[in-house]
Amino acid sequence: TNTTKHGPYNERKYEKYWGAFYLNRAGHSQREIAGLVELPSSTVNSIIARINKTDSPLPRVSSGAPMKVDERDMRHLRSIVTKNLFLSFDAVKHELEKLGVNVCRATVIEYLRSMGFNSYYAKKKPTLTVQHKKRRLEWAQKHVNWTTDQWASVIWSDESRYEIEGHRGGLRVIRQQGQAYKEELTVPTKKFGKGSYILSDTSRSWPWLLDLQAKEDRTVHFQEDGATCHTSAATRAWKTRHMTNGFESWPAQSPDLNPIEHLRWALELRIESRRHTVQNAAQLKALLLEAWNEIRHDLFMRLVDSMKDRCQAVIDAKGGPTR
């Protein structure tokens, strides 16, 4: 019988396994992955081997002892979780009870895992309108043949939110492995939330940007989203005076085109094991800066080199989401 415990520790372990999975897909070496997810190299090696064999970093659930319910009950269970995608395990148990099947929560979990189902945080996908897709496709087609030197002249920007107690929250979905990005199993995101604000003092970046540009002796492209404060006439005039170009039409809802998203994930992995030492925002900031300085320079170069593939993926998806 599968004796894997269901709880915060096991969930954190699985998060690290999935982190290793995506880092491997992004082209990181085994040594780099071991450092980022803080797992022994031997464990990372096993995870990568499992990925190559099963397309998943998670171990298969053993067949275990004979089932306590019949095939008809199993069909009911499968029907419940496929028709009600965002139910909790407790809710699934309650639905079974309505059908006269009385089993404990742990048994529900065991049966679902035997069918390949598990509970995951639902992946988030940007809500893309027809116009969004059109602009994404046009942008990707225009930039897919940029050279590495051209991409190296781009300064990428983004706003990320980091929390003292971590950010594991979100809607959960019961699904099978390999279905993370099926549209009906994802949560659509919107440009503006309902009650959460992230403040960013980008004015502090401009002196650094001007100093960098003077040293490089060339015009740089500064990527930023289409927020009103970024596109006003005064802002555009300031950038023109200081030889700072922006992309003429950065497509909205396009985190998959911004390589800085990958760095956000790398930072989360690096601070996870040390987050328990953080008591306030100042300590969190210091921890993030420390983690940032630990990131190897070759990761930045690989992300620059990934831009052609990112553009091509958007073209292949006809402007739709690529992950």
Quick one: 33 and 79 in the same domain? no
Looking at per-residue pLDDT, the higher value among 195 and 149 belongs to: 149
- Whether residue 275 is predicted with pLDDT greater than 80 in this model: the reply is no
> Domain check: are 158 and 108 in the same one?
no
Greater confidence (243 vs 315) lies with 315
Domain annotation covers residue 80: yes
Is the same domain home to 35 and 84?
no
Verify that 43 and 140 share a domain, yes or no. no
CATH classification at residue 247: 3.30.420.10
Percent of the chain with pLDDT over 70: 67
Q: Distance from CA of residue 118 to its chain's centroid?
A: 19
Residues 159 and 24 grouped into a single domain: no
Which pLDDT belongs to residue 139? 92
Domain count, the chain: 3
- Please identify which residue in the block is written with the tokens 């598990």: 118
Please count the other Cβ atoms lying within 10 Å of the Cβ belonging to residue 112: 22
| CA 30/CA 34 separation, integer angstroms | 6
Q: Specify whether 108 is located in the same domain as 250.
A: no
Q: How confident is the model at residue 231 (pLDDT cuts 50, 70, 90)?
A: low
Same domain membership, residue 83 and residue 30: no
Tokens at 241, concatenated: 């005076």
**This prediction's pTM:** 0.55
Tokens of 209: 């940007």
Please indicate, yes or no, if residue 306 is contained in any of the structural domains. yes
| 5-14, 222-231, 240-249, 260-269: least confidently modelled range | 5-14
The parent domain of residue 146 ranges over 130-167+189-316
| Same domain flag for 283 and 210 | yes
Residues 209 and 302 in one domain: yes
